[in-house]
Structure 1
Amino acid sequence: MTTLGAVFRPQLAPERLRAVARTADEAGLDELWLWEDCFREGGISTAAAALAWTERVRIGVGLLPVPLRNVALTAMETAGLHRMFPDRTVLAVGHGVQDWMGQVGARAGSPLTLLREYLTALRALLRGERVTTEGRYVRLDDVALDWPPHGTAEVFAGATGPRTLRLSGEAADGTVLTCATPPDGVRAARRLIDEGRSAAGRTGRHEVVVHLLTATGPGAADRLRAELAAEKLDSVPGLGVAGDAGAVADAVERLAAAGAGTVILQPTADEPDPEGFVRFTAEKVGPLIA
Structure 2
Amino acid sequence: MTRLGAVFRPQLPPERLRAVARAADDAGLEELWLWEDCFREGGIATAAAALAWTERVRVGVGLLPVPLRNAALTAMEAASLHRMFPGRASLVLGHGVQDWMAQVGVRAASPLTLLGEHLDALRALLRGERLTVRGRYVTLDDVGLDWPPGETAAAAVLAGATGPRTLRLSGARADGTLLTSATTPDGVRRARQLIDEGRREAGRTEPHPVVVYLLAATGPDAEARLRAELAAEGQESVPDLGVAGDAAAVAGAVRRLVEAGADTVVLQPTGDEPDPEGFVRFTAEEVRPLVP
TM > 0.5? yes
8 Å contact 1:82–1:150 — kept in the other structure? no
| SS of 2:183 mapped into structure 1 | coil
The equivalent residue for 2:73 is 73
The residue matched to 1:249 in structure 2 has which SS?
A: helix
Q: Could you list the per-position Cα deviations for residues 223-259 of structure 1 after superposition, in whole angstroms to 9, with x for gaps in the alignment?
A: 0000000000111110000000000000000000000
Residue-by-residue CA offset, 1:183-205 (whole Å, 9 max, x unaligned): 00000000000000000000001
Contact 1:169 1:195 in 2 (8 A): yes
- Taking structure 2 as the reference length, the TM-score comes to 0.99
Counterpart check, 1:216 vs 2:218:
yes
Q: In the alignment, is the contact (CA less than 8 A) between 1:71 and 1:118 conserved in 2?
A: yes
Counterpart for residue 109 of structure 1: 109
Mapped pair 1:121 → 2:124: no
Q: Which of 271, 274, 278 is 2:273 aligned to? A: 271
For residues 1-54 of structure 1, the C-alpha deviation after alignment (integer angstroms, 9 at most, x for no partner) is 110000000000000000000000000000000000000000000000000000
SS in 1 for 2:136: coil
Matches within 5 A, 1:30-41: 30-41=30-41
Q: Which residue of 1 aligns with 2:12?
A: 12
For residues 63 and 233 of structure 1, the distance between their equivalents in structure 2, rounded to whole angstroms, comes to 21
Aligned to 1:134: 134
Work out the CA distance in 2 between the residues paired with 1:219 and 1:25.
Answer: 27
1:240 to 217, 235, 242: 242
What secondary structure sits across from 2:93 in the alignment?
strand
Write the distance in 1 (CA, Å) between the matches of 2:56 and 2:150: 18
Cα distance in 1 between the residues matched to 2:221 and 2:26: 27
SS in 2 for 1:61: strand
Count of equivalent residues: 290
- For 1:26, the aligned partner's letter is D
Amino acid at match of 1:63: L
Write the distance in 2 (CA, Å) between the matches of 1:274 and 1:150.
Answer: 35
Q: Kindly provide the amino acid, as one letter, of the partner of residue 260 in structure 2.
A: A
SS at structure 1 position matched to 2:268 = strand
Deviation for aligned residue 1:150: 2.9
Gaps of 5+ in 2: none
Give the equivalent residue in structure 2 for 1:158: 160
CA contact (8 A) 2:112 2:166 kept: yes
Contact 2:128 2:150 (C-alpha < 8 Å) held by counterparts: no
Distance 1:142 1:216 in 2: 52
Letter in 1 for 2:77: E
Amino acid of the structure 2 residue aligned with 1:186: V
Partner of 2:159: helix, strand, or coil?
strand
Residues in 2 aligned to 1:159 and 1:52: alpha-carbon distance in whole angstroms? 29
- Runs of 4+ aligned residues of structure 1 deviating over 6 Å after TM superposition are none
1:182 aligns with 2:184: yes
Determine whether 1:85 maps to 2:85. Answer: yes
In 1, are the aligned partners of 2:132 and 2:142 still within 8 Å (CA)?
A: yes
Contact 1:5–1:281 (8 Å) recurs in 2: yes
Residue of structure 2 equivalent to 1:46: 46
Other structure's SS at 2:259 match: helix
Amino acid at match of 1:211: Y
> Are the equivalent residues in 2 in contact too, given 1:187–1:259 (CA < 8 A)?
yes
Q: Which of 255, 258, 261 is matched with 1:259 structurally?
A: 261
C-alpha distance in 2 between matches for 1:79 and 1:9: 24
Q: Does 1:171 align with 2:209?
A: no
Return the letter of the residue paired with 2:234. K
- State the one-letter code of the partner of 1:72: A
Q: Unpaired segments of 5 or more residues in structure 1?
A: none
Shift of 1:218: 1.3
Question: Match of 1:269, as an amino acid?
Answer: G
Contact 2:126–2:150 (CA under 8 A) maintained in structure 1: no
**Aligned equivalents of 2:134, 2:240: Cα separation in 1:** 44
Say which of 222, 227, 232 aligns to 1:230.
Answer: 232
Tell whether the 8 Å contact from 2:149 to 2:155 is kept in structure 1 after alignment. Answer: yes
